[in-house]
Amino acid sequence: IELIKTSAMSLMKTINDILDLSKLDARKLELTEETFNIKDLIRDLVTLFSMEAAKRKSTISYSFTEGFPNWIKGDPYRLRQVLNNIISNASKFTQDGKISIELDYKIESHDLVTIDINVSDTGIGISKSEIPKLFEDYKQAENNIAKEYGGSGLGLSISKKIIDLLKGSISIESEIGEGTTVHIDFQCKLSKKPEVNNRIFVSHSNNSLNALIADDS
């Protein structure tokens, strides 16, 4: 069952990547602009990957510089997709090591901020000559990577196309055997905690424990 599940998930990831790639190439991918809590998004991702990292005897941590904003305006789903890919690579290629996510910011004007994110790992690293090609579609660092670690070489090219849509930048620094740091930055608007946007209705009858939970997404 575990094998079927892993194979299905890996197939789903490949299909979703190919769909995203063709959408991006056809310039049909539109970003949403909504207020979201970027600190919560990072904490969620760290929670999500901490079990996977632990399986490889690695630890994962994050830090925000003081005063880092909570609420920004942007596309939380696509930012999550980019970070998901970068953190999943860091976790996949790091055995018995450390993964750290550092977030910094620079206020540009009263409502504009530049967000800087570094995802560093102490994993296998990438040779300098291989780095530029990793942003191309279907490219992996070495020929035997797919055999050993899986993947399709689409994650970083999709991430770069999304970061380009955000008019930001993405770069990699790495040393074979030492580890890798992926850096992204982009500008976005500062925002405020939204007014109550979820309404929860709770009603219960005396002695039954039936629950109907509905949400609109």
With CB under 6 A as the contact rule, the residue among 29, 53, 101, 154 that binds ligand ADP is 154
Q: How far is the CB of 194 from ligand ADP (least distance, A)?
A: 33
| 98: enclosing H helix or E strand | strand 98-109
- Which residues are CB-neighbours of 147 under 8 A, at least 6 positions away? none
**CA–CA distance, 34 with 44 (Å, rounded to integer):** 18
Residue 203, Cα to own-chain centre: how many angstroms? 38
DSSP state of 27: T
Assess 163 for contact with ligand ADP (CB under 6 A).
no
Instruction: Give the shortest CB-121-to-ligand ADP separation in angstroms.
Output: 5
Query: Which is closer to ligand ADP, CB of 121 or CB of 185?
Result: 121
Q: Would you say 74 or 155 has its CB closer to ligand ADP? A: 155
Binding mask 70-109 for ligand ADP (x = CB under 6 A): ---------------x---xx--x----------------
Among 153, 165, 183, 187, contact with ligand ADP (rule: CB under 6 A): 153
| Amino acid making up residue 171 | S
Torsions phi, psi for 104 (to 5 deg): -130, 165
- Shortest distance (Å) from residue 138 CB to ligand ADP: 8
Residues 6+ apart with CB under 8 A from 58: 91, 94, 95, 96, 97, 98, 99, 121
State the amino acid at position 39 in one-letter form: K
Residue with Cβ nearer ligand ADP (38 or 172)? 172
Q: Footprint of ligand ADP on this chain (CB under 6 A)?
A: 85, 89-90, 93, 121, 123-124, 126, 134, 140-141, 145, 151-157, 180
